[in-house]
């Protein structure tokens, strides 16, 4: 104890006389990572935290010579808590970034604080198109629902699925997906049938809605449910016999999320979705990412939330490097127009929208070496958010 105190005192003196070792002179940047670590969306928090920590472990030297202190806080998926934590991290911890944001309402709750304090806000999960418009300090490394949805709408219309129905979770990203599908599918020659079904986000019971799908008998049912809810949806889809009735399930890839795909089991086989990430993406960058992620987290398979967290940390590192640890305005400026090769493929943060342009893949659930995967079979390159454009 005495030794430690003496050492610290000695080092303090050295610092004051300008004799600090390089290690001591290194400045620290704090990153506040606000995530649902408990509650119904805890899988999102777990995935993003694991990936962010992996990026840090692999790239601690990539932040422009700065030491990164990651502060992870659990908002339980509740907007009031997100706002309180963001405020506390900005004011007391003086974080350089607020990051994470597992659901759209949580990103909306924090956005005004990013604007007021000029703190860059890296959205790693929330995927409603309008999120990036809530503050000029937001950049996004996840995706947007319309971006993924238009691709599956096109695929369905071009692959003999003439009549489609929609079912979404009743909150902003679900309504975004519903709007995109219901606009695009008829444009491509498809026909919408039945009502636009919307299921409550809290304690969803899909059964009565799926009964209406069974009665309407569309060729295809388009679904959006947020990450973590897919297993429950799929179970009820099969229990109602909709697969046997010949109703093809299509959707954005949230429903066949890599985190829960094996848990869903054979019911998922053949489901076609469009998305920006699959753990089975066959690039060398992704193979290295999946291998490292699993080595660090043996019981987990990385999903799209993980890649959003990993890339969010990459964006953070690159902006700190580019600005030599600039202020919030310089950091968000530095993010604009940045491109890199992510495990998901090439990505760009658009200068005008601060949103992500990326490949969208069409995938089918298949069994590979005894495990279920979303196997990509078509690629649409460099798709921007279709609502805001480039
Ligand atoms: C969102 O709330 O924006 C959200 C959450 C989970 C998803 C997609 C979007 O899988």
What pLDDT score was predicted for residue 26? 76
At 318 the three-state DSSP class reads helix
pLDDT of 1 reads 36
User: For residue 2, what pLDDT is reported?
Assistant: 36
Q: Are 145 and 252 in contact (CB under 8 A)?
A: yes
Q: What pLDDT, on a 0 to 100 scale, did the predictor assign at position 9? A: 41
Phi, psi dihedrals of residue 282, rounded to the nearest 5°: -85, 25
Ligand 1 nearest atom to the CA of residue 304, by list position: 10
How far is Cα of residue 289 from the mean position of the Cα atoms in its chain?
Answer: 16
Closest C-alpha to 383, from 354, 353, 352, 347:
347
Whether 72 contacts 33, CB under 8 Å: yes
* 226 CB within 6 A, ligand 1: yes
Query: Distance, CA 82 to ligand 1 centroid (Å)?
Result: 15
Q: Is the dihedral of CA 191, 358, 364, 296 positive or negative?
A: negative
Nearest to 332 by CA among 113, 97, 137: 137
Residues of the chain under the 50 pLDDT cut: 1-20, 23
Mean pLDDT of the chain: 94
Phi and psi at residue 332, to the nearest 5°:
-70, -35
- Could you read off the pLDDT of 250-304 as tens digits, one per residue? 999 999 999 999 999 999 999 999 999 999 999 999 999 999 999 999 999 999 9
Decide the pairing of beta strands 28-35 and 67-74.
Answer: parallel
pLDDT at 24: 52
Distance separating alpha carbons of residues 42 and 107, to the nearest angstrom: 16
The H-assigned helical ranges of 31-144 are: 42-59, 79-91, 104-117
The best mutation among 34, 39, 46, 104 to test binding of ligand 1, ranked by most ligand atoms within 8 Å of the C-beta, falls on 104
| Helix (H) or strand (E) run with residue 365 in it | strand 356-368
Residue 190 backbone zone (phi > 0: left; psi -120 to 50: alpha; other: beta): beta
Q: Is the distance from the beta carbon of residue 242 to the nearest atom of ligand 1 less than 6 Å? A: no
Output the DSSP codes for 138-177. EEESS--HHHHHHHHHHHHHHTT--EEEEEEESSHHHHHH
CA distances from 7 to 2, 3, 11, 13, 106 (A): 8, 6, 6, 10, 44
pTM metric for this prediction:
0.93
Nearest protein CA to atom 8 of ligand 1, as residue: 226
254 lines ligand 1 (CB under 6 A): yes
* C-alpha 130 – ligand 1 centre gap (Å): 13
Q: Is 126 in the pocket of ligand 1 (CB under 6 A)?
A: yes
The 10s digit of each residue's pLDDT in 23-46 is: 456 799 999 999 999 999 999 999
Which ligand 1 atom is the nearest neighbour of the CA of 126? 3
Span from the CA of 258 to the centroid of ligand 1 (angstroms): 15
* 7 contacts 1 by C-beta, under 8 angstroms: no
Q: pLDDT digit string (tens) for 155-187?
A: 999 999 999 999 999 999 999 999 999 999 999
pLDDT number for residue 25: 60
Residue 256 C-alpha to ligand 1 middle, in angstroms?
Answer: 13
326 CA to centre of ligand 1 in angstroms = 31
**Ligand 1 pocket: which of 148, 227, 251, 374 to mutate (most atoms <8 Å of CB)?**
227
């Amino acid at each position: 104890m005495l030794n430690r105190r003496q050492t610290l005192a000695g080092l303090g003196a050295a610092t004051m006389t300008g004799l600090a070792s390089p290690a001591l002179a290194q400045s620290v940047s704090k990153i506040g990572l606000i995530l649902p670590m408990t509650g119904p969306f805890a899988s999102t928090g777990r995935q993003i935290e694991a990936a962010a920590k992996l990026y840090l472990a692999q790239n601690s030297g990539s932040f422009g010579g700065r030491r990164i202190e990651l502060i992870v806080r659990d908002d339980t998926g509740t907007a009031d808590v997100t706002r309180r934590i963001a405020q506390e991290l900005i004011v007391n911890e003086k974080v350089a970034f607020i990051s994470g944001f597992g659901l759209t309402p949580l990103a909306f709750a924090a956005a005004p604080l990013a604007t007021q304090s000029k703190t860059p806000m890296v959205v790693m999960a929330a995927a409603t198109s309008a999120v990036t418009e809530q503050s000029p300090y937001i950049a996004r490394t996840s995706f947007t629902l319309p971006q993924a949805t238009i691709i599956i709408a096109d695929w369905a219309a071009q692959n003999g699925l003439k009549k489609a129905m929609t079912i979404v979770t009743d909150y902003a990203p679900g309504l975004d997906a519903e709007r995109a599908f219901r606009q695009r599918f008829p444009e491509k020659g498809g026909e919408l049938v039945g009502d636009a079904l919307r299921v409550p986000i809290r304690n969803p019971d899909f059964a009565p809605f799926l009964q209406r799908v069974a009665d309407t008998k569309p060729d295809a049912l388009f679904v959006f449910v947020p990450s973590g809810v897919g297993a429950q949806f799929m179970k009820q889809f099969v229990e109602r016999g909709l697969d046997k009735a010949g109703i093809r399930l299509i959707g954005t890839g949230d429903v066949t999320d890599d985190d829960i795909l094996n848990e869903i089991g054979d019911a998922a086989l053949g489901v076609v979705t469009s998305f920006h990430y699959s753990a089975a993406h066959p690039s060398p960058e992704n193979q290295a990412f999946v291998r490292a992620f699993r080595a660090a987290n043996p019981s987990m398979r990385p999903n799209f939330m993980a890649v959003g967290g990993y890339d969010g940390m990459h964006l953070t590192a690159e902006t700190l490097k580019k600005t030599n640890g600039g202020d919030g305005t310089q950091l968000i400026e530095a993010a604009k127009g940045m491109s890199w090769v992510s495990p998901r493929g090439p990505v760009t943060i658009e200068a005008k929208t601060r949103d992500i342009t990326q490949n969208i893949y069409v995938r089918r659930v298949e069994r590979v070496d005894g495990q279920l995967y979303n196997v990509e079979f078509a690629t649409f390159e460099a798709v921007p958010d279709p609502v805001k454009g480039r």
